[in-house]
A and B are shown apart, each in its own frame.
Chain A
């Protein structure tokens, strides 16, 4: 009511006042959000003397060698993470795009029953399968190998990936495939030459989501991998001090930052796909 009676100048003033308040609140929240990150970066460039002696001062001199020290300890496990996450992601993409294609475009008996059976797995929380899967891996003699990570991750990622792939493939017009068939393409050729190229966006989405998820996995590697040489970075970071005996805070913080680099790279081009993937997967489940 008051807005109607106000003069245009007043309204503009009130508007800009509102905008200022919003901005102030947002900046305040941003500062709070970034405190840990800035703190991390500052500590990463100090040595223990600087941290204990001059807590509030900026690093002086900058201890860039902390990053080298951190890398020496954590580099191997970053590599482990990339290898296992990468292979699991690649296999997931291959298998789920293939079966997504079959579920979308083929007709065969019990199709919906099988599909429902697969989707039912979305209701199984990882905590239920943690110990049985560990025993399974143990019985297969795979504990402490990359396979202990790659195989379950490949399998677990498929449900979500299949969901996305099937619904995407179902939207592709039948004419494309009819044309291909007329030209004498086999089923596999149609899949590989038509369906896959058209579905690159959805496959990228699946890949980003899977990579981020597996890179962040903590509990399963903690259980399945005991050797520091094969451990992934998420777990290795937490065992930094105990395993290697490094007590300096600086190199440890530097290692935390280093461990984030693969995710920085991934998000710098895949953020949109990541969000879309999680939203789609979640909403449809």
Chain B
């Protein structure tokens, strides 16, 4: 009957899990489409006029295609190199273009005739135009901002001395203002004549800017993945919202009510006016460009594969909202699943032999049970402090972590349930995937390290005949334990120092200067360098454990093996090793658990770099939580590591138990 119950439970859980997994994740963007087209070359520029009557699409293949509201092509323009940016005047009668051919163009929006152009010494990377089309600004890779009038006459330039990749203009006529964001995070507003009116500073490089019609709100996207809304009147930051990756594009409707951003990974974020991310949208293809009409009725995506889509924003939002409802159902499903799992645990207590014994011992009828509890109140009182501590600082965080792995955790406010979204995100996070490969290497190497060298040294010391030497050898090998773990890593940092480190100096000394390296900086050797730390890896703790094990082997066994003529190696394989199985098991578990959670070793040496070559999961967890503010994703990583440790420990216990039974 019990087995039947279990089977039913398992089937139920499985069914629920299937249903839950089938619920769609991120919604595709195709919903609410007005028109779409394929331009066969990556979309590198996208702009729509305020009323949506004109759209311009620029490609890497040097072409700009101007469309009407239905997507019919009106005219085209070809530059000498890839298009990098497009901007419409409010009425759609002027189009400004920036290109890698080092020109900034101003065209007539109806005919495509060129009205003026300005040349920079290097590529233009972005462009902006005033409402009336009287002022055009472009940022160039030569670190300057160029501003020209409607005839293409260069009015002024501003040399920042730093990369500039974001420029925008608001206002018209003489009241037009140029907003410039630079790579040092400085945001400046200039008058039409080039006088700096305001300057403020964000923490990271500004990659894109959008300005509301009045200039009252400025939206900036930066390299750290922040989207910041700035009050255009005084330069104060109103809010900052965090995304997963560098923000490369932002868009805002003219009234500042609709806000969008795109990150480097191709996700599109919809934000509400107080900065919280309403939706995070993933597209099948990689979104390169986003655009929003001034009235906010249409939005457009340009993809890396050349697709352009213009969508009705209202319909699009409505479809997104339906998706949200579907996800709400997933919450109910998951809550059910959790309840079922809990029921499983209770069943476990009731139906397993151990659990049943405990149950039988204590189920003595409600009244007598209560009486027994009351009699033992003093005992409960004494263990109460312990229990309170454990519940608060151990149990609660553990369950909180497991729960929040399924949410977009925002400790200060609302944490919406997102199902498996965090895990799905991790599966696409190349750092996390790389960290897993490295963790595997780390676990294997660390186990090999502890199983070989300390055991070898323990055997050697044990085989010394002279008691005095034996004592001193053992003591000396244990001495390094007095160094704090962090100090050992820091000293090794110094040994690896490319400029004045012991290792490179030593290689110079022995005449092998060609072997010297920037040990942490070379992706090929970085991980090996980290693993090499602590050579010859005679871990004091493992040594003492093995040595203690050897001492406890009775002299009789050793003597009798000697009488049998067994040599040292035979004795090691046939006597020492089997009898040390307990120690091996202990060190195996401890090492596995520690290696999976490796943090300091990487954090203090390479910081995960270069690239992702030394990333480990704990590092990604730390960065996600403390630098990216993605507590939910961090919790998901924690949960994955927990499960790995759990499975590893169980396998280890199983395996080694059979081994000892076999030996016995």
Which residues of A pack against B, CB within 8 Å? 1, 3-4, 15, 18-19, 22-23, 25-26, 29-30, 32-37, 39-40, 43, 51-52, 55-56, 95-96, 98-99, 101-103, 106-110, 112-114, 116, 118, 121, 123-136, 138-139, 151-152, 154-156, 158-159, 162, 187, 215-216, 218-219, 223, 233-235, 237-238, 249, 253, 256, 259-260, 263-264, 267, 271, 275, 278-279, 282-283
Binding site for A on B (CB under 8 A): 349, 358, 361-362, 364, 369, 372-373, 375-376, 378-380, 382-383, 385-387, 389-390, 392-398, 400-402, 404, 409, 411, 453, 457, 460-461, 463-466, 469, 473, 476-488, 490-492, 494-495, 500, 502, 505, 509, 535-536, 538, 541, 544-545, 548, 565, 582, 586, 589-590, 593, 596-597, 599-600, 604, 618, 621-622, 625-626, 631, 634-635, 638-639, 641-642, 645-646, 649
Contact B379 A108 (CB under 8 A): yes
> Could you list 4 further interchain pairs (A-B, Cβ under 8 angstroms) beyond the known A127-B641, A238-B486, A271-B481?
A18-B463, A23-B464, A218-B600, A219-B600
User: A131 is contacted by which of B362, B369, B635 (Cβ under 8 Å)?
Assistant: B635
The answer for the CA separation of A33 and B481 in the assembled complex, in Å, is 11
- Can you show 21 pairs from A to B with CB atoms below 8 A apart? A1-B565, A26-B473, A33-B477, A33-B480, A33-B536, A40-B487, A56-B509, A98-B382, A103-B383, A110-B362, A112-B361, A124-B394, A128-B641, A135-B411, A151-B389, A159-B394, A218-B486, A223-B622, A234-B486, A253-B494, A278-B541
B482 contacts which chain A residues (CB < 8 A)?
Answer: 260, 263-264, 267
Name A40's closest neighbour in chain B (CB-CB). Answer: B491
B544 touches A109 (CB 8 A): no
Determine the distance from Cα of A110 to Cα of B586 in the docked complex, in whole angstroms: 30
Q: A39 is contacted by which of B364, B394, B465, B495 (Cβ under 8 Å)? A: B495
Q: Return the contact of B389 from the options A35, A37, A158 (Cβ within 8 A).
A: A158
Given contacts A30-B476, A108-B372, contact A134 B625 (CB under 8 A): yes
* B582 surroundings in chain A (CB, below 8 A): 283
Residues of B within 8 A of A256 (CB): 483, 487, 490-491
Q: Quick check: B457 and A52 within 8 Å, CB to CB?
A: no
Residue of A with least CB distance to B466: A19
Q: Which residues of the partner chain A approach B631 to less than 8 Å between Cβ atoms? A: 131, 135
- Across the interface, which residues of B come within 8 angstroms of A259, CB to CB? 484, 487
Q: Is the CB of A155 within 8 A of B565?
A: no
| In contact, A271 and B478 (Cβ under 8 angstroms) | yes
Please provide the 5 A-B residue pairs with the shortest distance between their CB atoms, ordered closest to farther.
A108-B376, A155-B393, A132-B397, A129-B397, A132-B400
Q: Which of A22, A95, A271 contacts B385 (CB 8 A)?
A: A95
Complex contacts, A55 vs chain B, CB 8 Å: 500, 505
B385 touches A123 (CB 8 A): no
Contact between chains at B464 and A22 (CB < 8 Å): yes
Residues of chain A within 8 A (CB-CB) of B349 are 113
Residues of chain B lying within 8 A (CB to CB) of residue A52: 500
Asked whether A136 and B393 contact (CB < 8 A) given A33-B477, A125-B593, A275-B548, the answer is yes
CB-CB under 8 A from B635, the residues of chain A are 131-132
Q: Assess whether B373 is in contact with A108, with CB atoms less than 8 Å apart.
A: yes
Does A155 contact B476, Cβ atoms closer than 8 Å? no
Q: A19-B464, A114-B387 are in contact. Are A237 and B373 (CB under 8 A)?
A: no
Residues of chain B lying within 8 A (CB to CB) of residue A29: 453, 457, 477, 536, 538
Across the interface, which residues of A come within 8 angstroms of B509, CB to CB? 56
Contact B373 A109 (CB under 8 A): yes
CA separation between A139 and B120, bound complex, in Å? 53
A155 vs B397: C-alpha distance when bound (angstroms): 12
For A43, A139, A152, A256, the residue with the greatest tally of chain B CB atoms inside 10 Å of its CB is A256
Could you tell me the distance in whole angstroms from the C-beta of B479 to the nearest C-beta in chain A?
Answer: 8
Instruction: Kindly identify which residue among B473, B481, B565 contacts A4, using a CB–CB cutoff of 8 Å.
Output: B565
How far apart are the CA atoms of A180 and B403 in the complex, in Å? 49
Our pick among B398, B464, B477, B548 for the contact of A30 (Cβ within 8 Å) is: B477
**Chain A residues within 8 Å of B645, by CB:** 123, 125
Contact between B586 and A282, CB atoms less than 8 A apart: yes
Residues in B neighbouring A159, C-beta threshold 8 A: 390, 394
Which residues from chain B contact A18 at a C-beta distance below 8 Å? 463
For residue B538, which residues in chain A have a CB less than 8 angstroms away from its CB? 29, 33
A123 touches which of B463, B484, B646 (Cβ 8 Å): B646
Distance to closest chain B CB from A258 (angstroms): 10
Within the complex, the shortest CB–CB distance from A256 to chain B, in Å, comes to 5
Bound state CA distance, A259 and B486, in angstroms?
10
- Chain B residues near A152 (CB, 8 Å)? 393
A43:B494 contact, CB within 8 angstroms: yes
Q: How far is the CB of B622 from chain A (nearest CB, A)?
A: 7
Residue picked from A1, A36, A98, A156, most chain B C-beta under 10 Å:
A36
Shortest CB distance B115–A (Å) = 53
Chain A residues lying within 8 Å of B373, measured Cβ to Cβ, are 108-109
Chain A hits for B402, CB < 8 A: 128
Does A130 lie within 8 Å of B638, measured CB to CB?
Answer: yes
Residues of chain A lying within 8 A (CB to CB) of residue B490: 237-238, 256
In the bound complex, do residue B390 and residue A158 qualify as a contact, i.e. CB atoms below 8 Å apart?
Answer: yes
Q: In the complex the two chains form, what is the Cα distance from A112 to B483 in whole Å? A: 40
Q: Which residues of A contact B476 (CB under 8 A)?
A: 30, 34
Nearest to A278 among chain B residues (CB) is: B541
CB distance from B73 to the nearest CB of A (A): 52
- Residues of the A chain whose Cβ atoms lie less than 8 Å from the Cβ of B369: 109
Please give, as numbers and ranges, the residues of chain B lying within 8 Å of A133 by CB-CB distance.
393, 397
Residues of chain A contacted by B385 (CB below 8 angstroms): 95, 98-99
- Which of A18, A158, A223, A235 has its CB near the most chain B CB atoms (within 10 A)? A158
User: Which chain A residues border B495 with CB–CB below 8 Å?
Assistant: 36, 39
Instruction: Check A128 against B639 for contact (C-beta < 8 Å).
Output: yes
> Distance (Å) between the CB of B411 and the closest chain A CB?
5
- Chain A hits for B621, CB < 8 A: 127, 130-131
Check if A107 sits within 8 Å of B386, measured CB to CB. no
- A121 and B486: CB pair below 8 A? no
